[in-house]
Structure 1
Amino acid sequence: MSEKPSTLRLVFAPVRALFVSDASAGILLIFVAIAAMLAANSPFGEDYHHLFHGYLFNANLFKLNTLHLWINDGLMAIFFFVVGLEVKREWVEGQLSTVDQRKMPVLAAMAGMGVPALVFLGVVNGEGAAELTRGWAIPAATDIAFAMGVLGLLGNRVPASLRLFLLTVAIVDDIGAVLVIALFYTANIKMIWLAAAIATVGAMFALNRMRVSAYWPFILLALVLWFFVLNSGVHATIAGVVAALTIPMRGKDDDTMLEHLEHGLAPWSAYLIVPIFGFANAGVEIGDLGWAGVFAPLPLAIAAGLFFGKQIGILSAIWAANKVGFANKPEGASWPEIWGVSILCGIGFTMSLFISGLAFAGIDLLIEEAKIGILMGSVVSAVVGFVILRLTTDHPDDVRSPYTA
């Protein structure tokens, strides 16, 4: 009798893990990517494309005149708002709140963005395709949900220090990606709109200083800020990050105002907004590209940057920092385990898709090729990283299993 519950637990534990652990959001993204590819290459491919890119109204009425634009410029602003909340919380009170805690994640994230960009440029420059260089930042991003999802499938085999390291590197990576979008993918700034946006941010910080505890003034001003930024020439999603930074850590009653807001919005972001974005952006009609398009310089450069660039940059940064005593490697983790996590950082689904749309705006062929490269690099990174960690990790006592009574 005593063995029966144990057997059932072993059978159902992997299934439950998809819904109660770090794996759930990542697994959902895998299914979304597959669904998008199937839809784009099915008899309903034209309907799939028209759903997201068909005009809703004239652009003179409002510039976001397709569902795709509303998702990428509107809905994703909420995703970036949640990212901003998470970054502020970690930087002020969390795992990035001290200099010593920041050293290794910041160094690893910087190397994990710089080396993939160099790998990308090396591949495309070798082919003499100068216009492709705008995509240098595509392989520089790491998808938190996807990477943590793959790590979650390994359960309690992975040391806690590696989970924390992956999370903090991905958070710093997000900061870098936001700065890249703001600095390198912004053109034709309209100063009047930008000035109005800056004034709105000033008003939000004033509310912060007054320790206003109600959410609605911040939300109302965040919507106004989004509208101003949208019309300023800066990408509208930057408004989400900036607005998040104005939210007080605590209200007048010392309640954790920012954390409550983050916890309330995070599930909506992970399980609704990002999957919708993924489904709208991941679909590629392979028949239109052909094998020549799949193995063109752009997708190969992105895939190489994600798979080779990420692991080389992050692993070498950790090794060098640990060697010279600048910062210690994750506690209790072996070098093969660190290598496996470095490879997982090559999963660049959400942010990479987003940046590709900015880098090659209006050039549909290059956007489609970029998607192929992102999917190839992310899938290979996920599979290889998982296999290496599965073969090298075994820390059953390091993290309490969610299935332990």
Structure 2
Amino acid sequence: MIATKLFKEFFESEKAGGLMLIFCTLISLLIANSTIGTSYLNFWDIQFSGHSIVEWINDGLMAIFFLLIGLELEREIYKGELSNVKDALLPTFAAIGGIAIPAGIYLLFNFGTTTQNGAGIPMATDIAFALGVLSLLGNRVTVSLKVFLTALAVIDDLGAILIIAFFYTKTLIWTNLLISLGIFALLLVFNRLKVRNLIPYLIGGVLMWYFMLNSGVHATITGVLLAFALPFGNGDEKSTSYILQHFLHMPVAFFILPIFALANTAIILSGSVGEIFTEPYGLGIALGLILGKPIGVFLFAFLAISLKLCKLPEDMNWKSIIGVGFLGGIGFTMSIFITLLAFEDDALINNTKLVILISSLLAGLIGFLVLKLTFKNGEVSN
């Protein structure tokens, strides 16, 4: 099946990309804290056409990452795990829990403070990192679990995208926003007219990105809109959506996300790390990712199954759901991305990135150990 083939390709590229992200993060931290650390930090701040290099990466290259996320979400809705309502309910409920509970924990510590705006930070899951950790377990993990984690992470990212669009837009320039949405509407007309050539969509996507960038809404939203404007057809290898998704896998996994990691994890380690975790924002993020994610995923999945809205796959058990919940606590890319939108103070941003890295590492390690004890030779161990 085409859907199965593309899922395997997506999983393989994402897990390899996750391992690449880990490597780039370590390299970036080492360089930032070496004798050339200052020069390394200054490099990312070099201005080009009115924006720094790191801004071009976060506003430009990451729009392509969101385009791939949008294409994967579209495929999941039309032909994948989310195409059947009953099958989609379990990861959907789990994802909602994995968004709501971490946000609630964060607000418990930060409501009414200057860091309240960071509630979105512990909500999202880094697909590449999560699948990268899952891949370390090899064939002992069942296909159902891989599909469940992928669907959960994709829905999580959709939640993050909506949060970025609605809650992290500070000033709206309606003229530019309406022009961008007008271009999106035109691309939808092309879709309805069965225009299959990628060129007009890509040109329209660039124009849509430019006006969205200058509207106040974060430009990366353009990537998701463009994904749903592209013709999906029957989803086979000749469809426009498939061709672009297939093409983007490698550049995103091995160029865009590693570059994002290098640019955004250039953190100079100074002072006491322990003190950062005692700050309200540090506690909110750490507890949200390490505890909030697995608790939210488990509770909402349990609720959905108890209400008989869906059922637990035969090759999964509740321990595996908890394990996936911990892997969902690997926020990394999306959490750092939301941090850049939520905060403006450089010291606060750097401290938050450090909390995200350490919390994601702990959540991933716990998730790995839970799933390793749960699965033996591809079978569930109770």
Structure 1 length-normalised TM: 0.87
The amino acid across from 2:332 in the alignment is F
Q: Can you list the C-alpha shifts for 1:187-240, whole angstroms capped at 9, x where unaligned? A: 211111111111111111111011111110000010000001011111111111
Q: Is the 8 A contact 1:115 1:309 kept in 2?
A: yes
Correspondence for 2:91 among 88, 91, 105: 105
The Cα shift of 1:293 comes to 3.4
1:191 aligns with 2:182: no
Q: Corresponding residue for 1:27?
A: 19
Correspondence for 2:34 among 42, 47, 71: 42
Q: Is the 8 A contact 1:159 1:395 kept in 2?
A: no
Q: Corresponding residue for 1:353?
A: 336
Does the C-alpha gap of structure 1 residues 106 and 290 become closer, same or farther in structure 2, counting only changes over 3 Å?
closer
The amino acid across from 2:76 in the alignment is E
The amino acid across from 2:192 in the alignment is R
Q: Corresponding residue for 2:264?
A: 281
Find the aligned partners of 1:82 and 1:328 in 2 and give their Cα distance. Answer: 29
Q: Corresponding residue for 2:73?
A: 87
Find the aligned partners of 2:99 and 2:217 in 1 and give their Cα distance. Answer: 22
The amino acid across from 1:52 in the alignment is W
Does the C-alpha gap of structure 1 residues 119 and 397 become closer, same or farther in structure 2, counting only changes over 3 Å?
closer
Does the C-alpha gap of structure 1 residues 295 and 45 become closer, same or farther in structure 2, counting only changes over 3 Å?
farther
Q: Can you list the C-alpha shifts for 1:289-348, whole angstroms capped at 9, x where unaligned? A: 765335433223211100100000001111222222121123311222221111111001
Q: Corresponding residue for 2:53?
A: 67
The amino acid across from 1:304 in the alignment is L
Q: Can you list the C-alpha shifts for 1:10-52, whole angstroms capped at 9, x where unaligned? A: xxxxxxxxx9676321111111111111122111111111011
SS at match of 1:136: helix
CA RMSD of aligned residues (A): 2.1
Does the C-alpha gap of structure 1 residues 324 and 195 become closer, same or farther in structure 2, counting only changes over 3 Å?
closer
Q: Is the 8 A contact 1:298 1:369 kept in 2?
A: no
Does the C-alpha gap of structure 1 residues 177 and 290 become closer, same or farther in structure 2, counting only changes over 3 Å?
closer
In terms of Rg, which structure is larger?
1
Structure 2 length-normalised TM: 0.92
SS at match of 1:163: helix
Identity of aligned residues (%): 40
Q: Is the 8 A contact 2:17 2:254 kept in 1?
A: yes
The amino acid across from 2:66 in the alignment is F
Which runs of 5 or more residues in structure 1 are unaligned?
1-18, 57-61, 399-405
1:302-313 matches, within 5 Å, as 302-313=285-296
Q: Is the 8 A contact 1:301 1:373 kept in 2?
A: no
Find the aligned partners of 1:316 and 1:292 in 2 and give their Cα distance. Answer: 31
Find the aligned partners of 1:119 and 1:90 in 2 and give their Cα distance. Answer: 30
Find the aligned partners of 1:23 and 1:173 in 2 and give their Cα distance. Answer: 17
Does the C-alpha gap of structure 1 residues 189 and 372 become closer, same or farther in structure 2, counting only changes over 3 Å?
same
Does the C-alpha gap of structure 1 residues 285 and 115 become closer, same or farther in structure 2, counting only changes over 3 Å?
same
1:336 aligns with 2:322: no
Correspondence for 1:385 among 367, 370, 374: 367
1:118 aligns with 2:112: no
Q: Corresponding residue for 1:368?
A: 350
Find the aligned partners of 1:134 and 1:396 in 2 and give their Cα distance. Answer: 42
Does the C-alpha gap of structure 1 residues 254 and 358 become closer, same or farther in structure 2, counting only changes over 3 Å?
closer
Does the C-alpha gap of structure 1 residues 46 and 86 become closer, same or farther in structure 2, counting only changes over 3 Å?
same
Correspondence for 1:230 among 210, 213, 221: 213
The Cα shift of 1:396 comes to 3.4
Q: Corresponding residue for 2:5?
A: none
Does the C-alpha gap of structure 1 residues 36 and 254 become closer, same or farther in structure 2, counting only changes over 3 Å?
closer
Q: Can you list the C-alpha shifts for 1:97-144, whole angstroms capped at 9, x where unaligned? A: 12112211111111100000011111334xxx7011100010000001
Which runs of 5 or more residues in structure 2 are unaligned?
1-10
Does the C-alpha gap of structure 1 residues 106 and 287 become closer, same or farther in structure 2, counting only changes over 3 Å?
same
Find the aligned partners of 1:353 and 1:205 in 2 and give their Cα distance. Answer: 32
The amino acid across from 1:34 in the alignment is L
1:92-241 matches, within 5 Å, as 92-125=78-111, 130-241=113-224
- Kindly report structure 1 stretches of 4+ aligned residues shifted beyond 3 Å: 19-23, 288-291, 395-398
Q: Can you list the C-alpha shifts for 1:49-91, whole angstroms capped at 9, x where unaligned? A: 10112333xxxxx54x200110000111110111111111111
Does the C-alpha gap of structure 1 residues 51 and 295 become closer, same or farther in structure 2, counting only changes over 3 Å?
farther
